[in-house]
Structure 1
Amino acid sequence: MTTATTSLPGPAASLPGGGSMPLLGLGTWQSEGDDAYRSVLHALEVGYRHVDTATGYGNEDQVGRALAESGVPREEVFVTTKLPPDDAGRAREVLSRSLDLLGLDFVDLWLVHWPPSGGASPQTWEQLLAARADGQARDVGVSNYSTAQVDELVAATGEAPAVDQVPWAPALHDQQFLDACAERGVVVEGYSPFKKTDMDDPVLAEVARAHGVTPQQVVLRWHLEHGVVVIPKSVTPERIEANADVFGFTLSADEVRRVDGLAG
């Protein structure tokens, strides 16, 4: 077991179930086997307190192994996993299996990974709400849902998702979507922050030079300035550390506006 470290100083979003979701977390998509284990363990060692996984990633056991060996108290780590849409008919069974693999009594956030069969599926959402009521998930939400699909869940159950996890990057910036989610009390969480970003863009380069940081760090800081949760994935220790080093500078309103403009 490693020695627990001080958590990163970053901001967090308050969720309806009482959880506090750090705006910066570690993504684990395409992290497999020992790579997943080592990346999560290192992230926890350098202060990350938010780890995102999914049943579909096939690495919940390795994430759980790292959580157990990190020495970080359970109550300090925000853990998310996700329900594959193809398993919507046996949601609670899938969550129980996830908890076994993670070695946890509950997850902080459980998401529907994609709209089942392309639809909002209120019946699936009711299963997530039941898991929350039973204490298996502190909060529940969705991923890759439109605001119209979120509204369908609310109309059917009276309950909005705590979080909607979607692809997010400067090129994908959509203020109307952010505003619509805020109106519904839904926290926006972005994934793949670098995949859709031209890291050689002159705007990012100029802003990065002004702060003595990298374009990647500018992109992550831009998420934080918008209050959007971001979960960059890496299995490289140096990159995990660099992605966490975004709390020593802020972007001005003009810099945020210029990065917003990369969406065209």
Structure 2
Amino acid sequence: MAKLTDKVFELNTGCKMPAVGLGTWQSPPGVVEKAVEIALRHGYKHIDTAMAYGNEKEVGEGIKKSGVPREDFWLTTKLDNPDHSRCAEAFQESLSNLDVDYIDLYLMHWPCSTDPSNLKKHLPDWDYVKTWMEMQKLMDTGKVRNIGVSNFSQKHIEAIMAHPEFKIMPAVNQIELHPCHPSPKLVAYNASKGIHSTGYSCLGSTDSPLYSNESLLKLAEAKGRTPQQCLLMWGLQKGWSVIPKSSSEPRIAGNFELNGWNLTDGEMAQIDAIPERFKVCGDAWLPTGVKVFFGDDE
């Protein structure tokens, strides 16, 4: 069996994205730098961050301290909601924060354009469809290799595709994916359009209820693996990339120990059968009247 830590997914651009990355959402300030350094030294080849996380500079410091050459790993960051009407400038700011010459994957973080002077208001006369048209222009700079979206439903993808200036299909749709929020309809739709799915909160986030699920705990014990490793393998075998977040060196290392084993069809079905449903990331914090999640992706 191929080493899953060396596994890549080929995107619709022909670029090959490493299947396992380090997520940095909700990593406490002051620890992200070390987590990135540790991950890269442990062999991770994919780091995921975002302007909205407020940690791009720390991520950049971790990259430098790791000593790993830039060409040896994949770097993803994201356009923040208040920056939709200044996409080119925001992209340059991310490059500067990270202290790199190029980004492998630049995502529109949310299909929502907010007013920089009041984050609870939608930006007048601007929406995410216009933003995608601006993101397409970034490909001409030579400083980004792929563009994509995050938290997009089928409705959002179809809206950008309907614009007369649409010319680049998103390479990736980064969405919440774990056994208690598997989104099979949206994953299938992404695949039908040649869009790769990346799963965030793939372990169910901090203090995940999944860690007390008896079925998962028994499966992990029988496999001689951690519940986290089984969840990551489940996602990989489903066909999406995973970006588990951790700031602990043992957990960062453990989450990457995915070589030489897999889940059987029966074990995959056992995880599929977990009945509980929950969502880590909602949309209530967005401007009044803006809804992103419609509950129609199951």
- Give distance in 2, aligned partners of 1:128 and 1:245: 36
Name whichever structure is richer in helix by fraction.
1
CA contact (8 A) 1:64 1:103 kept: yes
Which of 22, 26, 45 is the equivalent residue of 2:22? 26
Once the 2 structures are TM-superposed, how far is the Cα of residue 172 of structure 1 from its aligned partner?
Answer: 0.7
Amino acid at match of 2:265: A
1:34 CA drift (Å): 3.2
Alpha-carbon distance, 1:101 to partner: 1.2
Query: CA, structure 1 residues 263+131, in 2 after alignment: closer, same or farther (shift >3 Å)?
Result: farther
| CA–CA separation in structure 2 for the residues paired with 1:259 and 1:133 | 43
Distance 1:68 1:19, change over 3 A: farther
Q: Secondary structure of the equivalent of 2:244? A: coil
Task: Provide the rounded CA distance (Å) in 1 between the counterparts of 2:54 and 2:246.
Answer: 16
2:188 corresponds to 1:179:
yes
> Matches of 2:127 and 2:150 in 1, distance apart?
11
- 2:272 equivalent to 1:260: yes
CA distance in 2, matches of 1:173, 1:54: 23
What is the distance in 2 between the residues matched to 1:129 and 1:197?
39
Q: For 2:65 and 2:34, locate their aligned partners in 1 and report how far apart those are by CA, in whole Å.
A: 11
Residue 32 of structure 1 contacts residue 59 of structure 1 at CA under 8 Å; is this kept in 2?
A: no
Q: Which runs of 5+ in 1 are unaligned?
A: 1-6
Distance change (3 Å), C-alpha of 1:197 and 1:134: farther
Deviation at 1:49, TM superposition (A): 0.6
Quote the Cα distance in structure 2 between the aligned partners of 1:161 and 1:22: 17
Tell me the percent identity: 37
- Correspondence for 2:159: 152
| Count of paired positions | 258
Instruction: Give how far 1:248 is off.
Output: 2.9
Does residue 41 of structure 1 match 2:37? Answer: yes
Deviations 1:57-113 (A, max 9, x none): 111111111212222121111000000111101111011011011111110000111
Q: Which has the higher contact order (CA 8 A, sep 6+)?
A: 2
Picking from 213, 224, 242, the partner of 2:236 is 224
How is 1:71-110 mapped onto 2 (pairs within 5 angstroms)? 71-110=67-106
Q: Choose the corresponding residue for 1:233, options 224, 229, 245.
A: 245
Shift of 1:122: 1.8
Match of 1:165 among 167, 174, 185: 174
- SS in structure 2 of the partner of residue 189 of structure 1: strand
SS of the residue 1:238 aligns to:
helix
